[in-house]
Structure 1
Amino acid sequence: MFGKWTKNIDEEYMNAEVTKIDDDDVSIAMDNQKEVDRKINNSGMLQKYSELAKVMYGMLKDYRRGIYTKVPWFTIATIAFAFLYILNPLDIIPDFIPGLGYIDDMAVITFGLRFIETDLHNYLDWKLEEQA
């Protein structure tokens, strides 16, 4: 049942959409952190991504400040795309549909994390070294 709605969200879709992200999109994602956090924490389905979202926002902030530069643009763009997708209430499955509205958001985050998992680990390692 869920597959029919999320079949359009796959690696090819993610790659195509992430390559469209530019610096202005990253700024929009950064400027809307509170709204993204609210949607993640109030959605039930996305709550398990709450801590990862904090790490991803931390990476975006450190990247934008120029203090963490060992990250490919694709990773930054993937994070921005995932957050912008969450912000969009009229995406593949509109968020206002009870019980189903966040399935596509979860799929986008899940695919995005598959692309950037190593970079997130590297960032966390760097944060630990910086604090030591």
Structure 2
Amino acid sequence: MFSKKKKEIDEEYLKSGVAKVKDEDLDLAAKNQEEITDKILNSGTLRKYAELGKIMFGMLKDYRRGVYTNVPWFTIASIGFSLLYVLNPLDLMPDFIPGIGYIDDFAILTFALRFIESDLHSYLDWKLEEAENE
């Protein structure tokens, strides 16, 4: 079962999901920040993404407020898709399955971060410049 599910969770799955993201999905991700953050923090598998999750939410919020716009839509959509994927308890591998329930969430976050890593660095550079200018 695991190898079959693992094959379903690949870059193409992420790209097809990202292509379907709409503004309403970004609103939903932002609205559920606390629940998504709690899920990341309380899952041993996802905990290593806690700080990156904060950065992703920060970028999403700044983008939605219109203060940070130097970012491709693909990056914003990847953030929205991956965070909503983590929120969904009944995804490809339901989260309640002991031991493997969060592996698909981990895979989606890993793939998304691989695609958007340079944009996250650019965002952090921008945040530092903003802090220096205050």
User: TM-score with structure 1 length normalisation?
Assistant: 0.97
- Secondary structure in 1 matching 2:8: coil
- Secondary structure in 2 matching 1:7: helix
Residue number in structure 1 paired with 2:130: 130
Residue number in structure 2 paired with 1:57: 57
Alpha-carbon separation, structure 2, partners of 1:123 and 1:3 = 35
Deviation at 1:5, TM superposition (A): 2.2
Identity among equivalent positions (%) equals 65
Alignment of 1:86-125 (within 5 A): 86-125=86-125
Runs (5+) with no aligned partner, structure 1: none
Instruction: Flag as ranges the 4+ runs of structure 1 deviating above 6 A.
Output: none
- Secondary structure in 1 matching 2:20: coil
Alignment of 1:1-132 (within 5 A): 2-132=2-132
Alpha-carbon separation, structure 2, partners of 1:4 and 1:107 = 14
Runs (5+) with no aligned partner, structure 2: none
Alpha-carbon separation, structure 2, partners of 1:117 and 1:66 = 21
Say how many residue pairs are matched. 132
Identify the range of structure 1 (6-15 vs 40-49) with the bigger mean alpha-carbon deviation. Answer: 6-15
Amino acid at match of 2:7: K
User: TM-score with structure 2 length normalisation?
Assistant: 0.95
